[in-house]
Amino acid sequence: MAGDLKRANLPPLSLHVPEPKFRPGDKADYSDLVIPAAGEAQRPDVSAKPDSFHGLAYSLVRVLDDEGRAVGPWDPKLSPERLRAMLRAMALTRAFDERMFRAQRQGKTSFYMKCTGEEAIAVAAAFALDRDDMCFPSYRQQGLLIARDWDLVDMMNQIYSNKGDRLQGRQLPIMYSTKEGSFFSISGNLTTQYPQAVGWAMASAAKGDTRIAATWCGEGSTAEGDFHSACTFASVYRAPVIMNVVNNQWAISSFSGFAGAEATTFAARAIGYGIAGLRVDGNDPLAVYAATEWAAERARTNQGPTLIEHFTYRAEGHSTSDDPSQYRSANEGSDWPLGDPIARLKQHLILLGEWDEERHAAMDLELAERVKASAKEAEKNGILGHGMHQPFETMFEGVFEEMPWHLREQLEQAVNEKKVAGL
């Protein structure tokens, strides 16, 4: 009773429920978004202690300014040839996305996810990593494979789940897997790849190897327990791993506030674990390259893990199953102040005198034709609705190295029943 009297004048407790700033019908206004000038962020030595540069978890590493010039200490000073190769890989990724999106709308596959506006995050990172560094991606890093010159037909076979699909139709479209490409199996279960990447990196170090791991997740996935377990192990054992958080503002229809964006940056989560943390302009290919290169050198010289937040925007829907007009302001994507990564790199090359609009248009046409030809080749192996593409017996394979007795019994039973039914 006495306690009740003491609290009589207090307001009732309440919870804060995050709300996005803009809803359908509103005009998005980014005037309150603080974007540091390009070249402003310090670049610590790769051997610097994580607690000596906490400010980089709250600022924004940027290299390309508004005119397209590369400025500041993070400028990786890449050759024109390498810059053009990065531009080409990003443009090819976008052309691939466009073609596969249309294929889904035409009923040729059941599902697809585009990475429009986020191409730099995968492509620039792939260029900064070694070809045999192991990648543990989420479902919007198809640019990793494309930047590593992976066969487009092979990727499309997986999307179509046809007879050429190396995964035999066992994975949802776009969930690629290739050991030869150092590309770990994509999972629809969020952030399972984080502890897997840390474990792989720990194993690489335990064996005395020189390969490092890199992994990606969306900002919403940082609310998963696997993210925090991975950070703990990576911190304690100083695992040679790069942990990328793609903050594209939206997790399906839930905005980033539900994952904690209203309280602080996602890069700041590194601080509590004693991990090096960087917040990077995800639409700046040179900044992504520089941050990844820096983090890779830290990992390779036993300085421990790095967490990189890529500050970007998901320009398209979450997937072909999503309609962003139901929860986002119409001009959010078009008015995003950090621009388009392909346009920014193109402008940089033009400013250097190493590119022009005519060559860019010719490249876009060439890549569109290449993707079109690849799609036609893949469709020869079958598309959605063309019946069973894999032998019936394969549904019992691929789980164990040697099929156990109980699965053999089930296989025999299924085959016999199929015969009796005349199928």
DSSP type of residue 11: P
| Mean predicted confidence (pLDDT) in 57-75 | 98
pTM for this model (two decimals): 0.95
Residue 223: predicted pLDDT = 94
Ranges 19-23, 248-252, 294-298, 395-399, most confident: 294-298
DSSP assignment, residue 401?
Answer: S
- For residue 256, the Cα-to-chain-centroid distance in whole angstroms is 16
Q: What is the pLDDT of residue 1?
A: 55
Confidence of residue 180 (pLDDT cuts 50, 70, 90): very high
Residues 194-198: what's their mean pLDDT?
A: 98
Strands in 241-247's sheet, in edge-to-edge order, are 134-136, 213-218, 241-247, 306-311, 276-281
pLDDT over 60 (residue 403): yes
Residue whose C-alpha is closest to residue 62's, from 42, 38, 83, 34: 38
pLDDT at 392: 83
| pLDDT tier at 2, thresholds 50, 70, 90 | low
Cα separation, 238 vs 132, in Å, equals 20
Question: For a pLDDT cut of 90, what percent of the chain falls above it?
Answer: 90
Best CA proximity match to 374, nearest among 172, 177, 159, 182: 159
The pLDDT assigned to 421 comes to 84
Question: To which H or E segment does residue 183 belong?
Answer: none
Alpha-carbon gap, residue 277 to 292, rounded angstroms? 12
CA–CA separation, 293 and 190 (whole Å)? 26
Q: Give the separation between CA 287 and CA 38, rounded to whole angstroms.
A: 9
Mean pLDDT (the chain) is: 95
What is the enclosing helix (H) or strand (E) of 104?
helix 80-105
- What is the rounded average pLDDT of the residues 191-206? 98
Read off the pLDDT of each residue in 367-391 and give the average, rounded to a whole number.
93
Which residue in this structure is represented by tokens 């070694």? Answer: 130
Mind listing the pLDDT tens digit for each residue in 233-259? Answer: 999 999 999 999 999 999 989 999 999
The predicted pLDDT at position 282 comes to: 98
Structure tokens at 76: 């990786």
Instruction: Decide: 144 and 130 in contact? Cβ < 8 Å.
Output: no
The predicted structure's pLDDT at residue 399: 82
Question: What does the block give as tokens for 309?
Answer: 């937040």
Task: List the structure tokens of 334.
Answer: 């078009």
The predicted model gives 175-179 an average pLDDT of 96
Evaluate if residue 7 carries a pLDDT over 90.
no
Compute the Cα dihedral for 135, 349, 345, 37 and give only its sign: positive
pLDDT score, position 388: 76
Mean pLDDT of 359-368: 98
